[in-house]
Structure 1
Amino acid sequence: MALKSLVLFSLLVLVLLVLEGAQPSLAQDFQRKHMDTSNGPFGRTYCNQMMRRRNLLRRTFNTFVHASLAAVQAVCREPNIRCRNGQNNCHRSRNQMSITDCILTRRRPSPNYRTINRRASIIIACVGNPPVPVHFDGSR
């Protein structure tokens, strides 16, 4: 029985270590996909350049948030709301932020994206302690 408990405890520790190690990479992935601290508004070619630069050309839609990382991380402290996938770890920004939506308009011969600059509240999913953004769920 003691051996079984030791094995289960070891597996639990291993899972926790893997999850802890995954959190920074998820946060870094969010930053790569959705953060751009430069100020807009941006011209017609912004999305084409950013989607190529960030290696996001397989995506048909993407949103870049133009705010500091601290401002976006602060959204994680807002009350929880339900995400589109049914999870309850999303948060909506209290204030509107500058964002740019990139919408794929043509895939071939080379991808072309429409650039739409606007202000909106962002909705992000956060995990960890302290919580960090890991998924952009939408905007309103």
Structure 2
Amino acid sequence: MALKSLILFSLLVLVLLVLEGAQPSLAQDFQRKHIDTSNGPFGRHYCNQMMRRRNLLSRTFNTFVHASLAAVQAVCREPNIRCKNGRNNCHRSRNQMSITDCILTRRYPIPNYKTINRKKFIIIACLGNQLYFDQWV
């Protein structure tokens, strides 16, 4: 009976490990949604291409930061500031960063996004290894 329980427990652990490996980490998810290390400025078709390529067509608004994930994660080492939701786990980038905002202008028949290139300070909410855009200023 103990051997049977050990085998079942081992199989359960194996399944959980496989499921964990199949799901992207939170940093990978942030990277997919918001990081593009390409240099801009970008033309008017950039957002249509990127939103399609990154499978983000359900979003009405998205911001891409043109920096490495490490550079964005480094913002979490800046002093804490108050987030829009009132929490104190936000951090403002020390320097302005190149960003591109993608704003949905038409959903049907084919989604169309307006591309806006900017240089802004970004504000990131940091929770452990999780990153969230709070805003840019």
**TM-score, normalising length: structure 1:** 0.77
Instruction: Show the 5 A alignment for 1:1-140.
Output: 25-128=25-128, 132=129, 134-140=131-137
CA distance in 2, matches of 1:95, 1:123: 11
Q: Which moved more, 1:24-33 or 1:38-47?
A: 24-33
1:102 aligned partner, one-letter code: C
Q: Residue type of the partner of 2:31?
A: Q
Other structure's SS at 1:76 match:
helix
The answer to whether the Cα contact below 8 Å between 1:62 and 1:101 also exists between their aligned partners in 2 is yes
User: Is the 8 Å Cα contact of residues 35 and 69 (structure 1) preserved in structure 2?
Assistant: yes
CA distance in 2, matches of 1:53, 1:28: 15
SS in 2 for 1:49: helix
The one-letter amino acid paired with 1:92 is: R
Q: Which runs of 5+ in 2 are unaligned?
A: 1-19
Q: Is the 8 A contact 1:123 1:137 kept in 2?
A: yes
Deviation at 1:59, TM superposition (A): 0.7
Identity %: 83
RMSD: 1.4
Q: Which residue of 2 aligns with 1:5?
A: none
Residue 74 of structure 1 aligns to a residue whose secondary structure is helix
Judge conservation of contact 1:76–1:124 (CA < 8 Å) in 2.
yes
Instruction: State which drifts further: 77-86 or 113-122.
Output: 77-86
Cα drift, residue 50 of structure 1: 0.4
| Pair 133,72 (structure 1): closer, same or farther in 2 beyond 3 Å | farther
Distance 1:103 1:73 in 2: 24
Distance in 2 separating the partners of 1:62 and 1:80: 24
Q: Which consecutive unaligned segments of at least 5 residues does structure 1 have?
A: 1-20
Q: Which moved more, 1:24-33 or 1:50-59?
A: 24-33
CA drift of 1:67 comes to 0.9
What is the CA–CA distance in structure 1 between the aligned matches of 2:96 and 2:76, rounded to whole Å?
15
Contact 1:32 1:54 in 2 (8 A): yes
